Amino acid sequence: MEDTFVLASGILFHGISEALYDDALPRKAYEYALETCREAIEIAEHSIASEFYRFVVDKLEARHLCFFAGLGSSHEVARMTAVRVGHVKRAVGDQVFVARETSTPSPRAGDLLIVVSNSGETEIVAGWCKNFKRMGGAIAAVVGNPDSTIASLADVTLPIQTPREPGKPNRFYITAAITLSPLPIMLIERLERIGFKLPEYIIRWYQSLMG
């Protein structure tokens, strides 16, 4: 329920921000939120069967560290996804880290970096990607620009192209958060398929989501 509440709240607040930007009546906030939700769910449904998800779940299943990275709003998307994936990864004895946070170790060969960037050109984030590649890590990028520097550095990309207008709230971030939200569920399903026994609290969380 908490995960659903967080994502639903994000959609609602985004709708409010669009309505405020347009100086629209309050009911427009609900309309914008509903429209954003429909768009995000459609993108997420198409993404689940994508090469991006296959690549990421394969890497998460392996015994390697997982890093998440982004700046600004992308950092928040990365962090909230890292929290959910971290619950499952820690249950199998691995760790998940968010770039720029304390006690983040250096990457090792085989580790995974999941990076979020709307422009795909953020210099600091591109630098992290280059360093990660030098260390032998794998990169999965969620980007708003599939022809960007960060996309070119990634092993696999998930493009989320939303209209961009200077100053206007961008739907990329909430769409990215929703599109990445099935990751822990898919990891649990993969681990169960290969016979890995997960802790009871993880199973209960999974069952609560799947109904």
Spatial CB neighbours of 169, under 8 Å, sequence gap ≥ 6 = 14, 17, 18, 21
Alpha-carbon gap, residue 182 to 51, rounded angstroms: 15
Which tokens is 181 given?
């939200």
Q: For residue 107, with 0-12 CB atoms within 10 Å meaning exposed, 13-18 middle and 19 or more buried, which class applies?
A: buried
On whether residue 28 sits in a domain, the answer given is no
On whether residue 141 sits in a domain, the answer given is yes
Q: Is the pLDDT of residue 186 over 80?
A: yes
**Among 152, 77, 140, 92, residue whose Cα is nearest residue 113:** 140
Domains in the chain, number: 1
- Per-residue pLDDT reduced to its tens digit, 117-146: 999 999 999 999 999 999 999 999 999 999
On whether residue 41 sits in a domain, the answer given is no
Residues 41 and 20: beta-carbon distance below 8 Å:
no
Band of pLDDT at residue 101, cut at 50, 70 and 90: confident
This prediction has a pTM of 0.91
Band of pLDDT at residue 174, cut at 50, 70 and 90: very high
Query: Could you say which DSSP state residue 104 is in?
Result: P
On whether residue 110 sits in a domain, the answer given is yes
For residue 200, give its domain range: 50-210
CATH number at residue 91: 3.40.50.10490
On whether residue 105 sits in a domain, the answer given is yes
**Among 160, 71, 62, 154, residue whose Cα is nearest residue 114:** 154
